[in-house]
Structure 1
Amino acid sequence: MHRRTLAGIVTGLTLVAATGCGTSSADDPSAGSTSGKDHGAVDGAQEVAEPQLHLTTIDADGAVAQLDLLEGSSAEVGTIGAPSAVDSDGRYLFATTADGVEVVDSGMWTWDHGDHFHYYRGEPRVLGTVEGEGRATVATGPLSTAGSTGVFFHESGEAVLLDNEALADGEVRELFRLEAEPHAGMVAPFGDGALVTVADGGEVTGLSYHDAGGKADETQIACAEASGTITTRVGVVVGCADGAVLATETDGEPSFERIEYPKGTSAPRATSFDGRKSRPTVAAVSGKTEIWLLDTRERTWSHLDAGVPLRQVVAADDEEGHVLALDTTGRVRVFAAEDGRQIAATEPLVDPSDKGIDLVVDQERAYLNVPAKGVVHEIDYADKARIARTLETPTAPVFFTETGR
Structure 2
Amino acid sequence: MPHLVTRRLAPLGALVVLALAGCAAPAVPAAPPTDAPADTHGEIAGAAELAEPALGLTSIGPDGRVSHLDLLDETTADLGTVRVPAAMHSDGRFLFAADAGGVSIVDSGVWTWDHVDHFHYYRADARVLGDVEGEGVATVATSNSSTTGGTGVFFPTSGEAVLLDTQALSEGEVVELFRLETTPGAGIVAPAGSFAAVAAGDAVTLHSADGAEVGASTPCVEPAGTITTRVGAVIGCRDGAVLVTVADESPVVETIPYPAGTTAPRATVFANREGRPSVAAVAGEAGVWLLDTRERTWTLLPTPEPVVQATAVDDADANLLALTADGRVLVLDGETGALRTSSPALVGASLAAGQPVSLIADQQRAYVNGPSEGRMWEIDFADGARVAREFTPAQVPLFVAETGR
Q: Same fold (TM over 0.5)?
A: yes
**Correspondence 1:263 to 2:260:** yes
2:325 to 325, 328, 340: 328
Q: State the 1:339 CA deviation.
A: 1.1
The answer on 1:358 being equivalent to 2:354 is no
Q: C-alpha displacement at 1:259, in angstroms?
A: 1.6
**Structure 1: distance between partners of 2:330 and 2:379:** 11
Distance 1:143 1:114 in 2: 12
Q: Distance in 2 between matches of 1:262 and 1:193?
A: 29
Gaps of 5+ in 2: 1-33
Secondary structure at the residue paired with 2:187?
coil
The residue type equivalent to 1:316 in the other structure is V
2:26 is aligned to none
Contact 1:59 1:398 in 2 (8 A): yes
Q: Deviations over 1:284-328 (max 9, x none)?
A: 111224100011111111111113222110000011111111111
Query: Who is 2:334 aligned against?
Result: 337
Partner of 2:66: 64
Residue of structure 2 in register with 1:20 after alignment: none
- 1:80 aligned to which of 82, 104, 118: 82
In the other structure, the counterpart of 2:3 is none
CA displacement 1:12-40 (0-9 Å, x = unmatched): xxxxxxxxxxxxxxxxxxxx713767111
SS at match of 2:113: strand
Q: State which drifts further: 225-234 or 244-253.
A: 244-253
Q: Aligned with 2:96: secondary structure?
A: strand
User: CA offsets per residue over residues 41-85 of structure 1, 9 Å max, x none?
Assistant: 111110011111011011000010101001211111001121111
Q: 1:211 to 1:52 in 2, by over 3 A?
A: same
C-alpha deviations, 1:97-152, integer Å up to 9, x for none?
35410000000000111111110011111000011122110011010000111000
Query: Do 1:149 and 1:162's aligned partners in 2 also have CA atoms closer than 8 Å?
Result: yes
What is the aligned partner in structure 2 of residue 176 from structure 1? Answer: 178
* 1:157 correspondence with 2:159: yes
Give, in whole Å, the separation in 1 of the partners of 2:177 and 2:257: 32
Relative to structure 1, is the Cα distance of residues 362 and 188 closer, same or farther in structure 2, using a 3 angstrom cutoff? same
Counterpart position of 1:14 = none
Q: Structure 1 residues 174, 67: CA separation in 2 closer, same or farther (over 3 Å shift)? A: same
Alignment partner for residue 305 of structure 2, among 305, 308, 311? Answer: 308
TM superposition shift of 1:396: 1.6
1:181-200 equivalences under 5 Å are 181-199=183-201
Aligned-pair CA distance for 1:395: 2.4
Q: Percent identity?
A: 53
Is the 2:377–2:387 contact (alpha carbons within 8 Å) kept by the matching residues of 1? Answer: yes
1: CA distance, partners of 2:136 / 2:236? 23
8 Å contact kept, 1:375–1:390: yes
TM superposition shift of 1:215: 1.1
One of 153, 165, 168 as aligned partner of 1:166: 168
What displacement does 1:153 show? 0.5
TM-score relative to the length of structure 1: 0.88
CA distance in 2, matches of 1:100, 1:355: 21
**SS of equivalent to 2:205:** strand
Query: Separation in 2 of the partners of 1:287 and 1:373?
Result: 26
| Equivalent position to 2:279, from 279, 282, 286 | 282
Matched letter for residue 204 of structure 2: L
Query: Residue deviations 1:344-387, cap 9 Å, x none?
Result: 11221012134221111100000000122322110011111110
Taking the aligned partners of 1:288 and 1:173, their CA distance within structure 2 comes to 42
Code of the residue aligned with 1:41 in structure 2: it is: E
RMSD across aligned positions (CA): 1.5
1:247 aligns with 2:249: no
Give the Å deviation of 1:272: 1.9
- Counterpart AA for 2:40: D
55-64 or 133-142: bigger deviation: 133-142
SS in 2 for 1:314: strand
Q: TM-score, normalized by length of structure 2? A: 0.88
Give secondary structure in 2 for the equivalent of 1:288: helix
Distance 2:73 2:248 in 1: 41
Larger RCO: 1 or 2 (CA < 8 Å, sep 6+) = 1
Aligned equivalents of 1:185, 1:103: Cα separation in 2: 20
User: What is the DSSP-based 3-state SS (H/G/I as helix, E as strand, rest coil) of the residue aligned with 1:220?
Assistant: strand
CA distance in 2, matches of 1:84, 1:253: 36
* Aligned partner letter, 1:226: P
Aligned mates of 1:36, 1:61 — CA distance in 2: 42
Q: In 2, distance between residues paired with 1:154 and 1:34?
A: 32
Residues 61, 395 of structure 2: 8 Å contact kept: yes
Q: Deviations over 1:162-189 (max 9, x none)?
A: 0000000010110011112211101011
* Cα deviation, residue 249, structure 1: 2.4
CA-to-partner distance for each residue in 1:247-275, whole Å, 9 max, x for gaps? 12245454222222222222221112110
**1:12 matched residue in structure 2:** none
CA contact (8 A) 2:186 2:223 kept: no
Judge conservation of contact 1:40–1:145 (CA < 8 Å) in 2: yes
Structure 1 gap ranges (5+): 1-31, 200-204
Secondary structure of 2:308's counterpart equals strand
In the comparison of the two structures, how many residue pairs are matched?
369
- What is the aligned partner in structure 2 of residue 114 from structure 1? 116
